[in-house]
Amino acid sequence: MDPTVPSVRVAPLTASYTYQSAIPDQCVGGTGTRRVPCVLGVDEAGRGPVLGPLVYGIAYCPEDQQELLRDVGFADSKTLTAERRDALLAALREHHASMGWAVRVMSPQDISAGMLKRRAHNLNAQSSDATVLLIQGILDSGVDITKIFVDTVGDPNAYKRLLQSHFPRHTHIEWTVTRKADAIYPIVGAASIAAKVTRDRCLEHWMYAERNLVLPSSLEGAAGQKRKREDDEHAEEEETSAYVTGSGYPGDPRTVRYLQETLDPVFGWAGIVRFSWATAKTMLEEARPTRGSRRGQESEADDTVYSPLGTRLPSVTRAYTVRWIDEPATLTDFFSRAAPRKIGAPRGMSTKAKAPTEATAAPPAPVLPVTQQLQQADQEAQHKHRSALWRDLSLSHAGAADLFG
C-alpha cells in the first residue's frame, strides 16, 4: 500500500478491489447512537482510456460540513494539476473526522472479461455495479446518507431510476444525477479527486504481473510512466522509451506507440491493456511487420527478435481477435433443425404405395415432436442391438470356465 495514497496497492493489479477509509466520527455522532444526516458524491476516472483501471470514487460528510469542502477547494479533478490533486487528497485524509471516501478499482482484465462475454456486460453496467457497491458499503457501515449526488452515465433520468431501484429500503434518500456534477457539487469534486489520484498513481507505479516480460533494466517492475518534473534528469530518456504509456487515451501518440511497440503476435499485450477497446481490437487484426527487442543472451550475429512477452517474432505476422468461451453452449446448439425422418415403417413397405382413399384411410397418427421421434428411434436401435447380441451369445461355445471362472 502506498502511504501517500492508501487506495493503491503495491502489487500487480490483476483483479478489481475496493478501498474504504475509516468512517468519520462526525458521521455517526461519535458513539454511533445519534444519526447524522450526510451527503455523498460519486464520480469516476479513466472511463475512456485503453490502458489501466477504471476507478470509481465516492466522498461523504455531514450535511452541515459542505461549506468546508468549498473552503478546501474541491473541484473537477480534470481542471487541476497533478500537484493540486495530490494536495486535495491529502486534505481529504487530514479531515478524517468529518470526511470519508472510498474507491472501486476496476482492473483492465475484469473490464475486458465483462465486455467480451457471450452475453456482454458492458461498461455502463459495470459502472453502475461499482457505484451501487460503494454506496451500499457506506450504508452498511451505519452512515445515514440522505442526499446523493452522481455524475451521470448516459441519460440522467434513466440512470437515476436505475440507481434508485437498487436501494428500495432507502426511500428517504434524495438523488441528484446530472452531467458535470463534479464541477457543480463540491462533494462530487472530492469523489473525483479520490478516483483520479488513485488511477494516476496506479499507472505511474504499474507493476507487470507477466513473469516473462522483457523490460529495460531501468524500468523493471513499473510501466515507466512518471510525471513530468522540471528537475527530472531522465525526462528525455522516458520520452523515447516504448514503455512510456502516456495518458492511456487512444488519441495520445505515446499511448499508440506503446501499443504498437509492445504488441505480441500470440498474447497481445500485458494486463495493463483493455483488450475490449476498439483501438486494441483494430490493432490486433491489422497485418504489420513486427518489432521487438533482442534478448540479452543472444549474440550480435543472431537476428532472432522477441516480443516483450518473450515470443519469437517472425518477419511479418498477424494477430487474431481474442475470443472468450466463458459460457458453455447448450446441447440444442449441436443439433440441426433437419426435417424429421420417417420412423418405424415396416420393412418391405413401398414408400411409393398409393395413398388410401378417404373411406378407407385410418385416422392420422399424432405427429410426435422431433425430440420424441429421435428418442423412439434410439430405443428401437438399442433393442435391435440387444437382440443381435443375445443371438450371438447363444451361438457361441461357452464352457464352465466362461460361466463360473
Q: Is it the case that residue 343 has pLDDT exceeding 60?
A: no
- Cell numbers given for 235: 525526462
pLDDT tens digits along 367-376: 556 566 667 7
Per-residue pLDDT band for 308 (boundaries 50, 70, 90) equals low
Which of 33-37, 212-216, 355-359 is predicted least confidently?
355-359
pLDDT at site 247: 83
Q: Is 44 annotated as a binding residue?
A: yes
pLDDT tens digits along 282-300: 888 775 554 544 444 444 4
Q: Is it the case that residue 191 has pLDDT exceeding 90?
A: yes
Across residues 332-345, what is the average pLDDT? 50
Higher pLDDT, 237 or 290: 290
- Give the 3-state DSSP-derived string for 123-136, with helices as H, strands as E and coil as C: HHHHHHHHHHHHHH
Bridge-partner residues for 41, per DSSP?
Answer: 59, 149
Q: Is 200 annotated as a binding residue?
A: no
pLDDT at site 395: 54
Q: Residues of the chain with pLDDT > 90: what percent? A: 39
Q: Is 378 annotated as a binding residue?
A: no
Per-residue pLDDT band for 219 (boundaries 50, 70, 90) equals very low
Q: In whole angstroms, give the CA distance from residue 49 to residue 315.
A: 30
Q: In whole angstroms, give the CA distance from residue 14 to residue 31.
A: 38
Q: Is it the case that residue 305 has pLDDT exceeding 80?
A: no
Q: Is it the case that residue 220 has pLDDT exceeding 60?
A: no
Closest CA to 174 of 66, 68, 38: 38
Higher pLDDT, 340 or 247: 247
Closest CA to 295 of 278, 287, 285, 307: 307
pLDDT tens digits along 112-156: 999 988 889 999 999 999 999 999 999 999 999 999 999 999 899
pLDDT at site 48: 92
Q: Which domains does the chain have, with CATH numbers?
A: 17-204 (3.30.420.10), 217-226+240-318 (no CATH)
Higher pLDDT, 290 or 366: 366
pLDDT at site 274: 94
